[in-house]
Structure 1
Amino acid sequence: MTREGGCLCGAVRFKAEGEPINVRICHCRNCQKAMGSPFFARALFNQNALTVAGNTSRYASSEAIDRVFCTTCGTRLFSWRTNGTVAGVALAVFDDRNAFAPTEHIWVAEKMAWVKLEDGLVQYPGTVPP
């Protein structure tokens, strides 16, 4: 299956082939700051399953992750692993914003105090254990 999406202004479009590896909500401080939001809800895909068209820019938010955004409107689209393996695609930028539902919360130890997690999903204080 192919799912498509893009930024707010339409200058960047992408296609995601197949099913995501996982769908999670990350509450880590880096995601909060990078997204300007209490969390980052994303679907994780192999980078080779993603095709991106349009002008994007990157910001290295850590040694392992670049944040990819539209150079025109600034929409935050992806968290892109610098090792070439996977990328997190923001759930809200898919054309069908309900295409994927998260199954887990990660980095809950860093969530904002007023965020109440009452959705019944599995919660991990940090990353998912091996």
Structure 2
Amino acid sequence: MTIHHGGCLCGAVRFQCSGEPINVRICHCRNCQRATGAPFFARALFAHEALTISGDTARYPSSDALDRMFCPRCGVRLFSWRNTRPVVGVALACFDDPNIFAPTEHIWVSKKLGWIKLNDGLPQFPENPA
């Protein structure tokens, strides 16, 4: 089984994901925009049990369904931990090889910032796909 490694900016938090992601998406929802301070959140979705974390993380419950996990030392947001399903979104840019997974679709494009032009040919969903 393939193991993918990554970590935060300061190195205090390291992680590994085993296997392949369930999906790889770019989320344009307002919660992701605010949580990252960026126009979108690009992430690979894994089962909880596929993720191993070393180092201390902090959590912020951004909704009943989702906790945002980050490094308390450097502040890098690493994971979006689902409380309603046993899955976790891992920030693509935090993998040691940030090109290891390519997104396959855009979600929540109804909240996309107006100046973002999506011309990559990927499927686009106004909210979450069914």
Decide: shared fold, TM above 0.5. yes
Q: Return the alpha-carbon distance in structure 2 between the equivalents of residues 22 and 61 of structure 1.
A: 22
1:15 corresponds to:
16
Q: Over residues 64-89 of structure 1, what are the superposed CA-to-partner deviations in whole Å (9 max), with x where a residue is unaligned?
A: 00000001000000000123500000
- Give the AA of the match of 2:102: A
Runs of at least 4 residues off by over 6 Å = none
* Structure 1 alignment gaps of length 5 or more: none
Name the TM-score, length of structure 1 as normaliser: 0.98
1:30 corresponds to:
31
Query: How far 1:94 sits from its partner (Å)?
Result: 0.1
Name the TM-score, length of structure 2 as normaliser: 0.98
- Give the AA of the match of 2:6: G
2:78 corresponds to:
77
Q: Over residues 23-65 of structure 1, what are the superposed CA-to-partner deviations in whole Å (9 max), with x where a residue is unaligned?
A: 0000000000001100000000001000000010000000000
- CA 1:83/1:125 → structure 2, altered by over 3 Å: closer, same or farther? closer
Q: How does 1:85-124 map to 2 (within 5 A)?
A: 85-124=86-125
1:45 corresponds to:
46
- Give the SS at the match of 2:31: helix
* Structure 2 alignment gaps of length 5 or more: none
- CA 1:121/1:84 → structure 2, altered by over 3 Å: closer, same or farther? closer
Q: Return the alpha-carbon distance in structure 1 between the equivalents of residues 90 and 16 of structure 2.
A: 10
Q: Return the alpha-carbon distance in structure 2 between the equivalents of residues 56 and 88 of structure 1.
A: 15
Identity, in percent, stands at 66
User: Aligned Cα RMSD in Å?
Assistant: 0.7
Task: Figure out how many residues of one structure are paired with residues of the other and give that number.
Answer: 129
